[in-house]
Every structure is written in structure tokens, then in C-alpha cells.
Amino acid sequence: MKLAALLKFEWTKLLGRRLTWVPFIVLMIVVTIIVTVFYNMEFKHFKRMVSTYQITFGDRSEFVNGYFMTASAMNPIFQVLIPIFVAIASGLMVASESEQGTLRAALVRPITRRQLIFSKFLMLAGYSLAVSLFLVMLLLVAGTLNFGTGNLYTLNFLFNNGQDGVSTVLAEEAPLRFLLAGLLASLGMTVLAALALLVSSLVETAAMAYVITLSIYFAALTLRSLPFLDWLYPYLFVTHMLRWQQCFYSHIKTGEIWVSIVHLAGYLVALLAASMLLFEERDVKS
């Protein structure tokens, strides 16, 4: 019962922050811009690329549909925008409250520090899921309303499915693939939220929490993009965060996805445990 009251308290604080709603507004603006761009692009580069694999499209309408737009937009947004939103929300959970002087007041209540951190993490996990699924649904609705549906064609090298070839996902399978991709992406964002919560538990200001978290994330993402460091890929948390991309392979790589889920669960437990232990030792002065 105590945890339920604590969750309600944290939920109220989360919803009461204006920054909580900014990502949803930004995503709506971004999706509007994407739809406009898709209306005006001929995708000559894409047609030229797939032609090297003996696939020829006579007109853009043969492959440009709502599913193609959604998959194409998910790649950059889930690698750049969503991590920024999650890092900011996580920084507000502890560091911002310490900066404003409200963290000490929260600890006066009859709760343990571990309960407080755990409740904040649950809120962040729910927030990560909400933002991730909101993006996928928004893209699907905007894409299908403007460009209809059809088979999804993706270049494998853009989705970490190998260096060569084109994957085809049948139209009837696409909605389920997008749901699975959204859930996997939200799991990755939850791991990032746990990392941000750990950083936020150690520093005194929200700005410092954002900067450190995003620096770690983008540094790992940069390492993931260097071909000569391929031996390092399995040990980078971003590798497993990006596993949702393989939902758009011709045949879902179930084995690799399960391996990544196990890795992400391990990172999640380790980061959350570290957050709790370190916050136990933190001297909250204000």
C-alpha cells in the first residue's frame, strides 16, 4: 500500500511537469514534417540502391506507403530524439529534485531510499513505454492515412541486418512487426532510463545528469558505428537497444532478439541495483 501511494505521488509529479509533455508535442511536429517531406521526395537513391539487388520499382507508389515511412522514420528518431527525451525525464527524477530542495522533503516521509528510487524507476519505465508506443502509433496513423499500406521494403544495411540485400515484410505482417519493434525499443529506452537514474542519483544538478547520460549513450553509439571495433559490439548496451531494427528483416531473427532481451534485462538489474546502493550512501543536504 505504501508503494502504491508512492507511485501515485511520483506519477502526479511526473504529469505535473511541463517538460513531460514536450516530447509528445515535438514528435507530432516532427511527424508532420516527415509526412510533408515524403510527399515531395522521389526516393531516387532508394530505387537505385534496391536495383543493385535485382529489384526494380517503376514508380514511388510501389514502395512508398505508411509502413515504409514508419520504418524509415523510426531509425533516426529512436537513435537520437527518444534517448534525449528519456535522459531529460530521468534527470528530473533525482538531480532536479535535489537541486530544487524537494528531495530532502521526500525522504522525510516513512519510506526507504530504495523504495523511492524503485518508484521513480517504475515511472520512468512507464514513461519510456508511453513515448515509444506513441511514436510508433503516430507514425503508423499518419503514414497509412497519407500513403496507404502495402509491403514493407527495407535495405538491410540500414537496419543492422547485414551489409547486403533487401528485406520484404508482407503488408499483413507489418502491424505486428511494428508493435514488436515498439516494445523492444521501449525496453532499450528503459535501460537508458536506468542509466540516467544512476547518474542522476550521483550528481547535484539536472543539467549535469542530462549531459553525462547522453555523453555515455552517444559515445557507445559512436563505438558501435566503427567497423574495426566489431569485436566490441556484443558488449555495448546500444547494440542490444537497437535490436528492434531486426523486426524488419524478412524473417524475424528470434534467437538474436532473445539474446538481446537477456542482455538488456541484465543491464537493467545491474543499473537499478547500483542506483539503489549508491543513493543509500548519498548525503542529501538540501
Q: Which of the listed ranges 51-65, 125-139, 155-169, 246-260 does the model predict with the highest average pLDDT?
A: 125-139
1-15, 55-69, 72-86, 182-196, range with the lowest pLDDT: 1-15
pLDDT at residue 282, as a whole number: 63
Average pLDDT, the chain: 85
Is residue 183 in some structural domain? yes
The 10s digit of each residue's pLDDT in 108-154 is: 566 777 888 888 888 888 999 999 999 999 999 999 999 999 999 98
Strand pairing partners for 167? 154
Is residue 35 in some structural domain? yes
Average pLDDT (87-97) is 76
Is residue 91 in some structural domain? yes
pLDDT at residue 238, as a whole number: 92
* 92 has pLDDT over 90: no
Is residue 172 in some structural domain? yes
Average pLDDT (160-172) is 80
* 20 has pLDDT over 50: yes
Q: Tell me the C-alpha distance between 101 and 209, whole Å.
A: 16
* 186 has pLDDT over 50: yes
Per-position b or e across 196-227, b if 16+ CB within 10 A of its CB = bbbbbbbbeebebbbebbbebbeebbeebeee
Is residue 286 in some structural domain? no
DSSP, res 245:
G
C-alpha cell at 213: 547520460
Average pLDDT (227-240) is 88
Q: Tell me the C-alpha distance between 154 and 67, whole Å.
A: 10
Going by pLDDT thresholds of 50, 70 and 90, the confidence category of residue 98 is low
In terms of residues, how long is the chain?
286
Average pLDDT (18-23) is 84
Q: For residue 273, what are the domain limits? A: 2-281
Is residue 222 in some structural domain? yes
Average pLDDT (269-285) is 80
Q: Which of the listed ranges 98-102, 117-121, 221-225 does the model predict with the highest average pLDDT?
A: 221-225
Is residue 226 in some structural domain? yes
* 163 has pLDDT over 90: no
Is residue 23 in some structural domain? yes
Q: Tell me the C-alpha distance between 95 and 99, whole Å.
A: 6
Going by pLDDT thresholds of 50, 70 and 90, the confidence category of residue 104 is low
Q: Among candidates 198, 192, 180, 200, which has minimal Cα distance to 244? A: 180
Count of structural domains, the chain: 1
